Structure 1
Amino acid sequence: MTPKVDAVVVSYNVRDLLVECLASLVVAQAAGEIARIVVIDNGSSDGSADAARRAGPNIQVVEAENHGYGAGANAGIARSDAEYVLVLNPDTVIPAGSIATLTAWLDAHPSHAVVGPRLRRPDGSIQSSRRRFPRPWTPIFESSIIEEWWPRNPVATSYHLSDRSDDVVQDVDWIVGAAMLVRRAAFEQAGGFDESFRMYAEEVEWCWRFQRHGWRVGFVPTTEIVHHEGASAAQDLPRRLAEFNASRVQLTGRLYDRHWESVVRVAILLDYVIRLSRESAKWLLGNRRQLRMERMRFYAAALRRGVRRG
């Protein structure tokens, strides 16, 4: 009999959080909410793979080279034959019954390729996890110096769906990839994650591709999952910033054209220059010089790296 749901966790150097995630999945497995648990360890050096093996008797651990999150997720999905696959970040905790609720929702909505829950941080605050697709100019106004100066600018607020309540079930353009329950039939039709997106934006492109094949994306806030948010990404921040912006440039080219890709690339580099200049001016004025020096080094490193992957 084909299993209903398998879980795939892609992890990198977050051993303690991974163990907490797996503990919640083992409970779900014992309750019959999931069949397999597959962990793809992307070359961790902190003992994550061994810790995952000790987390439960029915956990399949695959030690892989780090070719990015999407590649790891695809490798995990390839080891599943379930009707649905729950793709998870390792810094999530899954409350009892959550997977069953999402599964029942996807059963009742056969036109949907993927459904995502509401995400909460450990302190109980909501992490925004639903979005519209970015417009070509979105990276100029969102996660940028402009958004810092003008937080409620209409481009950023539209992108974040600020005009809609997140208390109601709804179709969205895409959901944050921390927790995605994916229908195998949709995966087989549209393909897996695009592995050229090593980190960031891979779930945006995936949801975009699902919709190009006629599928829909759902957001179900009645199910909530805890997300520690960005634990793996906290390592080597200049590199992560470069990866984030490189993915935004790549996504712009994928969804639109090379002209807009070039515009976004220049805008991001200008953003780095403005931030570096601001911190340099504050350093010259004697304003918290140690902090300013740290930030100057950070933005200088980001500027040297440019909008490319390292």
Structure 2
Amino acid sequence: MTAVSGLVISHGHASELATLLPVLAPQVDELVVVANRPGSLPGELPPGTRVLENGAPRRLSENVNLGVAATSGDWVLFSNPDVLPGSDAVGLLHRFAQTRARCGIAGPRTVWPDGTWQPTRRSFPTLRGTLVRRTPLRGLLPPLERQHDHYHLGEDVTEPVEADWLLGAFLLMRRAMLDELGGWDEGYRHYVEDIDLCYRAMRAGWERWYVPAAHVTHDWARITDRRFLSRHTLWHARSMGRFLRKHPETAARL
């Protein structure tokens, strides 16, 4: 059976890891945690967990690539610290992905802590939708209520379906695809890395699949939605600008 490597990046999320790692560890063949800053590790780790400690904080994409390079599985499962997977979430993603020769990325059905469905299967962004999400217009036109095409609202499907892109909170990625694409783009300060990865995967002929049989809970912070002007909204704007510079052909859609 093809091995699955687990990867978690911690930016001071010791308490979240104390909950996540005991659930994730039995589902993967090896587990690597990248400690990106002090206070990133819980008092106890599952047996066999390997830790990579950074001397100075790195960008998310840098940490993902660092962790991928330190693992050996044909598949890499990347998880945010604020995710709690179901008992066989990784196995369900893995078994499905292996049935598709060109499946490069697979993601699960995701819910909020209260059990409400979370729309993590999304269409590539458009200019109009992005302006609403990142300006005060979102107060008048709430994206998670109005942007049906982007978030596939009302489409809580029960069977696997292809996606433009999947929120990068819990992704199973084929190593062959990552090698071909050169990994995650380390030029992004924060945000849009997952859109860029899925877009490049699409361009290279790799499929992205949403697999609802696999379930996870995600305590999504939605930091960029809390305030219009913050360092996070600036990071997001810069990242979207990078995406446009890299992929100018998307300007018509954006």
TM-score scaled by length of structure 2 = 0.88
Q: Percent identity, aligned pairs only?
A: 24
1-side partners of 2:223 and 2:4: how far apart?
26
The residue aligned with 2:61 is 70
Write the letter of the residue equivalent to 2:126.
R
- TM-superposed deviation, 1:257: 6.4
| Compared CA separation, residues 232 and 159, structure 1 to 2 (3 A) | closer
| Compared CA separation, residues 220 and 141, structure 1 to 2 (3 A) | same
Q: Is 1:114–1:180's contact at 8 Å kept on the other side of the alignment? A: yes
1-side partners of 2:5 and 2:223: how far apart?
23
Relative to its length, the structure with more helix (as a share) is 1
Cα RMSD (Å): 2.9
Q: Is 1:147–1:153's contact at 8 Å kept on the other side of the alignment? A: no
Write the letter of the residue equivalent to 2:165.
W
The residue aligned with 1:279 is none
Q: Is 2:11–2:36's contact at 8 Å kept on the other side of the alignment? A: yes
**How far does the alpha carbon of each residue in 1:210-267 deviate from its partner, in whole angstroms, 9 at most, with x for none?**
1111111000111111111138989x98222221222223223333369x69xx9xxx
Q: Is 2:117–2:156's contact at 8 Å kept on the other side of the alignment? A: no
| Compared CA separation, residues 231 and 7, structure 1 to 2 (3 A) | farther
The within-5 A match list for 1:66-215 is 66-151=57-142, 156-162=147-153, 164-215=155-206
| Compared CA separation, residues 233 and 140, structure 1 to 2 (3 A) | closer
Higher mean alpha-carbon deviation, 5-14 vs 243-252, is at 243-252
Provide the secondary structure at the position in 1 that maps to 2:9: strand
**1:42 is aligned to 2:36:** yes
Q: Which runs of 5+ in 1 are unaligned?
A: 265-310
**1:253 is aligned to 2:245:** yes
Write the letter of the residue equivalent to 1:58.
G
- TM-superposed deviation, 1:163: 6.3
Provide the secondary structure at the position in 1 that maps to 2:98: helix
1-side partners of 2:217 and 2:117: how far apart?
9
2-side partners of 1:87 and 1:232: how far apart?
20
1-side partners of 2:249 and 2:162: how far apart?
26
**How far does the alpha carbon of each residue in 1:4-36 deviate from its partner, in whole angstroms, 9 at most, with x for none?**
10100011012101111111123x2xxxx3111
The residue aligned with 1:23 is 22
| Compared CA separation, residues 151 and 56, structure 1 to 2 (3 A) | closer
Q: Is 1:142–1:155's contact at 8 Å kept on the other side of the alignment? A: no
| Compared CA separation, residues 141 and 15, structure 1 to 2 (3 A) | same
Q: Which runs of 5+ in 2 are unaligned?
A: none
Higher mean alpha-carbon deviation, 116-125 vs 176-185, is at 116-125
TM-score scaled by length of structure 1 = 0.73
Q: Is 1:120–1:225's contact at 8 Å kept on the other side of the alignment? A: yes
The residue aligned with 1:59 is 49
Structure with the larger RCO, 1 or 2 (CA within 8 Å, 6+ apart)? 2
- TM-superposed deviation, 1:168: 3.2
Count of paired positions: 251
2-side partners of 1:3 and 1:153: how far apart?
37
Write the letter of the residue equivalent to 1:20.
T
Write the letter of the residue equivalent to 1:241.
T
